[in-house]
Amino acid sequence: MKKQSRNEDFFLEESIFDSWSSNNNLGSLELPLSRRAFILMLFLIVFSGLAVFSRVYFLASFKGDFYAARASANVGKEIYDLAPRGLIYDRNGKVLAENLPTFSVSVKPAELLSDSSGNEIKTLSAILEISEENIKNQLKNFNLENGSSLVLARNIDSSKIIQLKALNIEGMEIISDYKRYYPGEIFSSVIGYTTSENNNEIAGKTGLEAFYNDYLKGVDGKTVVYRDAKGNEIDKKILQSSKEGNNLETTIDAEFQTYFYNRFKQALNQLGRKSGVGIAINPKNGEILSLFSLPTFDNNIFSGSGNNDKKLSLLNSPDNPMFNRAVSGVYTPGSTIKPLVGMAVLKEGVIDPQKQIYSPGYLDVPNPYDPSHPSRFLDWRPQGWVDIHSALARSSNVYFYTVTGGFGDIKGLGIGKLKEYWQKFGLGKKTGIDLFGEKEGFLPDPAEKEQRKGDIWRIGDTYNVSIGQGDLMVTPIQLIGLIASIADGGNFYKPHLNKADAPKISIDYTNLANEIKEVKIGMEDAVSKSYGTAYQLVSLSVKAAAKTGSSQIANNTKTNAFFVGYEPADDPQIAVLVLIENAKEGSLNAVPIAKDVMEWYANNRILSGQQ
């Protein structure tokens, strides 16, 4: 038999697969990939490579130090050196906000959460008097990019520190800390308070603490302690040096504010009232010498840990002690608006200083539909013949009705021009004082009233706003700023609390020098003339000028009492505002407070030369 050659070798597998392939036309499925598929694959590879490279470059260039520090922290123990917050002083160096040493509890969230039994969290909850849910939420929401340790509770008392140390919980540290301390409620409205936020940061929540938070807060230091397997310290590395916050010197005169506040609160207690505002400002530069709102609160309750019941009580109180009425309260100003109106009507030539208007105690406006029943607008008492000076001193309503809304042969300024002057003198906009929460107030006009109430503007509306009633609303800080600007001859300085701020004139109406002079005479007569509404101030050690006001609210069922004034009249160094909400006898209740406060300042600052 002839042997088969090598090329003729028979392979069963090949025979079977060739046959099967031939029968099933598999060869027809072996198609080449399209060019588009190769291009798409190449694009995806290049794009992925660029994305990875970009991320690596970003982390190395911009986050390299951060992740190096995080890596160091993971092999050691990260310790925070909490930087003290800057102190706050009054204008004479008295501390109004300081730091007291204390201790806080710091934990590593990852290690605490790794306790599957949950006993450690339960124990911490019991000692720290923080709910387990609160602790768990803090741990879960903690951002590890901000650090490896969470300050779980601050300002822990010594008895709890002993209990915590005995627990020997892995990842828990007792760290040196501080808490903010204040002199108390007298300065709460202006200083505000701080709370602990974002793990280690103590942040201002209200007042100057909030407004100047970035200036006051320091930079916390971070140190990593490296230990061997037995826990012995082998190295220490400072990741970030701590830096103290900046100190803030304020314009507040603490001694004066203490007197002003106590005298004001005494008067409220005698009247059986709770709410009011006291402000004093230097007319020559806008420096706030005193500012408070009543009722107020002890800001130490919020700066420390615990006191949750007291905090909730203050936050939910119907008396709103947390509300700063000095900058956020809006009020109808009553007759304290009359100096502004007086300047406007004199400047626009509606009336001259010598022109007299007769006030029998009311003004009757004829009713074209029923002549027998005229519309009557009341003065607060019969005033007789009054000019601009005596109208301000006596606070004649009829005079200002006539010169604004018009009556008889006097056309009147009109609401359009009146609103222009409100705006010219800073009403309807914020003063820019360095406190958050300042309101703008409200300036009514015919178009706004018709849109809001669906009713036309009437002459009675002009009469009402001319004497500070109706819908006109201002803030106390706007009002005292206006009075201070009159005292300084037309320079409206921006009110400020930071002593380092240079005086800034925000409104200049010195071109009204003649009109200002006439208005100032009327305000001086309010003190020096026996018929003046502020005649009680005639016995002050220095000559003063003033304007009082009684604002009707709640459908004329309540009256807010106002006093605004300044001293000395010939060289003003202080302007004062007193506001009592729901006073019993209107402005009569505000004048005695103002008298005592201005007398104190005259004797202890102006005459003594200790400003």
Q: Which fold has domain 76-249?
A: Penicillin-binding protein 2a (Domain 2) (3.90.1310)
CA–CA distance, 78 with 58 (Å, rounded to integer): 25
DSSP letter at 92 equals: T
Q: Which band of pLDDT confidence, cut at 50, 70 and 90, is reported for residue 138?
A: confident
116 vs 451, higher pLDDT:
451
In the predicted model, what is the mean pLDDT of residues 541-552? 96
Residue 79: per-residue pLDDT: 65
pLDDT at 265 over 90: yes
- Cβ-based neighbour number of residue 51 at 10 Å: 10
H or E element in which residue 139 lies: helix 132-141
190 vs 102, higher pLDDT:
190
Residue 527: per-residue pLDDT: 98
* Owner of token pair 């627990």: 167
Amino acid making up residue 573: Q
pLDDT at 72 over 60: no
Residue range 87-137, pLDDT digits in tens: 999 999 999 999 988 888 888 887 777 776 778 888 888 888 888 888 888
Residue 2: per-residue pLDDT: 44
CA–CA distance, 477 with 86 (Å, rounded to integer): 27
In the predicted model, what is the mean pLDDT of residues 403-425? 97
Q: What pTM value is reported for the model?
A: 0.82
Residue range 215-262, pLDDT digits in tens: 999 887 777 777 665 556 677 778 777 799 999 999 999 999 999 999
Residue 33: per-residue pLDDT: 59
Question: Is the omega angle on the peptide bond into residue 568 within 30 degrees of 0, that is, cis?
Answer: yes
Residue 154: per-residue pLDDT: 78
Residue 334: left if φ>0, alpha if ψ -120 to 50, beta else—which one?
Answer: left
pLDDT at 391 over 60: yes
Locate 499 and state its tokens: 């002593």
pLDDT at 555 over 90: no
347 vs 109, higher pLDDT:
347
Q: What percent of the chain has pLDDT over 90?
A: 61
pLDDT at 20 over 50: no
Locate 350 and state its tokens: 């509606």
Instruction: Pick the closest to residue 565 from 573, 555, 575 (CA basis).
Output: 575
CA–CA distance, 291 with 327 (Å, rounded to integer): 10
CA–CA distance, 97 with 287 (Å, rounded to integer): 19
CA–CA distance, 14 with 12 (Å, rounded to integer): 6
pLDDT at 354 over 50: yes
The rounded mean pLDDT for the chain is 87
pLDDT at 69 over 60: no
Residue range 77-97, pLDDT digits in tens: 666 677 889 999 999 999 999
CA–CA distance, 461 with 470 (Å, rounded to integer): 7
> Superfamily assignment of 254-304+319-606 in CATH?
DD-peptidase/beta-lactamase superfamily (3.40.710.10)
H or E element in which residue 81 lies: strand 76-81
Residue 78: per-residue pLDDT: 64
Burial of 357 from C-beta contacts in 10 A (0-12 / 13-18 / 19+): buried
Residue 36: per-residue pLDDT: 73
Locate 216 and state its tokens: 């006051």
pLDDT at 18 over 50: no
Residue 13: per-residue pLDDT: 47
Measured between alpha carbons, how far is residue 195 from residues 157, 198, 386, 472 in Å? Answer: 18, 10, 56, 37
Q: Which band of pLDDT confidence, cut at 50, 70 and 90, is reported for residue 149?
A: confident
Residue 481: per-residue pLDDT: 98
* Bridge partners, residue 106, by sequence: 151, 173
In the predicted model, what is the mean pLDDT of residues 465-476? 97
Residue 61: per-residue pLDDT: 63
Residue 320: per-residue pLDDT: 93
Residue 66: per-residue pLDDT: 54
In the predicted model, what is the mean pLDDT of residues 479-483? 98
- Cβ-based neighbour number of residue 506 at 10 Å: 16
610 vs 351, higher pLDDT:
351
Residue 488: per-residue pLDDT: 98
pLDDT at 25 over 60: no
Residue range 493-510, pLDDT digits in tens: 999 999 999 999 999 999
Question: Where do the structural domains in the chain lie, given as residue ranges?
Answer: 76-249, 254-304+319-606
Residue 163: per-residue pLDDT: 87
* Bridge partners, residue 197, by sequence: 201
156 vs 207, higher pLDDT:
207
Locate 437 and state its tokens: 């929460």
CA–CA distance, 565 with 601 (Å, rounded to integer): 13
Q: What is the DSSP string of 381-443?
A: S--EEE-HHHHHHHT-HHHHHHHHH-BTTB----HHHHHHHHHHTTTTS----SSTT----B-
